[in-house]
Amino acid sequence: MTGASEGMTRRMITRGVAVALAVLAGGSPGQAQTLAALPAPTLAAPTLGTARPIAAWTDFCRRYASECAVDVSEPDTITLSPRLWQTITGVNRSVNSRIRPLTDQEHWGVPDRWDLAEDGTGDCEDYQLLKRKLLAESGLPRRAMRMTVVIDEKGEGHAVLMLRTDRGDLVLDNKTSAVLPWHRTGYTFIKREAQDAVAWVSLGGATGPTMTANR
């Protein structure tokens, strides 16, 4: 796809997200109240020291250094409000509906490549990277939004976006439009980006608060 076509696709995706958020903001009071209901407080996912970065992530950071930079002056957690919650859920739904799933092998001819789905196609990590970019452009701190590697319900590797909030760690996923507490996803959590450096930390294979408490 040409650079001009990619730019047009990106603008269409961004415009679609903006329209979706405007609809949310302008909905009826009853609708807004339902959409704005905040998730119940829960525990944060445990971290267990450093972990080896994903090779494709390292390559992504070489190409998009600003997307991987860690600004320690930013908050490391998001204080949720009804408006922020609407923004988060709106971006998750909008990106999920606008990106066409395509494996890296089909897309790029390689087993694993991380990108921003700017041409309107991508696999799991590409959805999440685009969501983070759009949420950061909406004012959320990038430092509190961490790319995360899990084992999914099929026993396969999968990438999600973990939002570290004052109500616990929440997960944005291309497999569902629901933004869920990490321990309700059914996934095994392997590792995520660190919050204090351009690095990764281990999540130790955690699946929920019970496992966390036993470690």
Cα(38)–Cα(29) distance, rounded to whole angstroms? Answer: 16
Are 172 and 140 contacting, i.e. CB atoms less than 8 angstroms apart?
A: no
Residue 118: the pLDDT is 86
Q: How many domains does the chain have?
A: 1
Find the CATH number of the domain harbouring 38: 3.10.620
Residue 31: the pLDDT is 43
Q: What is the mean pLDDT of residues 197-211?
A: 82
Q: What is the mean pLDDT of residues 47-63?
A: 96
Residue tagged 């650079």 (tokens): 3
Cα(70)–Cα(171) distance, rounded to whole angstroms? Answer: 20
For the stretch 193-197, contacts whose Cβ atoms lie closer than 8 Å and that sit 24 or more positions apart, written own/partner, are 193/57, 193/68, 193/146, 193/147, 193/148, 194/50, 194/70, 194/146, 195/70, 195/76, 195/143, 195/144, 195/146, 195/164, 196/70, 196/72, 196/76, 197/70
Residue 14: the pLDDT is 56
Cα(169)–Cα(43) distance, rounded to whole angstroms? Answer: 7
**Hey, which residues does 78 pair with through a beta bridge?**
165
pTM of the model: 0.84
Q: Which pair of structure tokens corresponds to residue 195?
A: 């919050």
Q: What is the mean pLDDT of residues 8-12?
A: 53
Q: Which domain holds residue 121?
A: 3-214
Does pLDDT of 176 surpass 80? Answer: yes
Q: Which pair of structure tokens corresponds to residue 20?
A: 């979706």
Q: Which pair of structure tokens corresponds to residue 37?
A: 């209901």
Residue 182: the pLDDT is 97
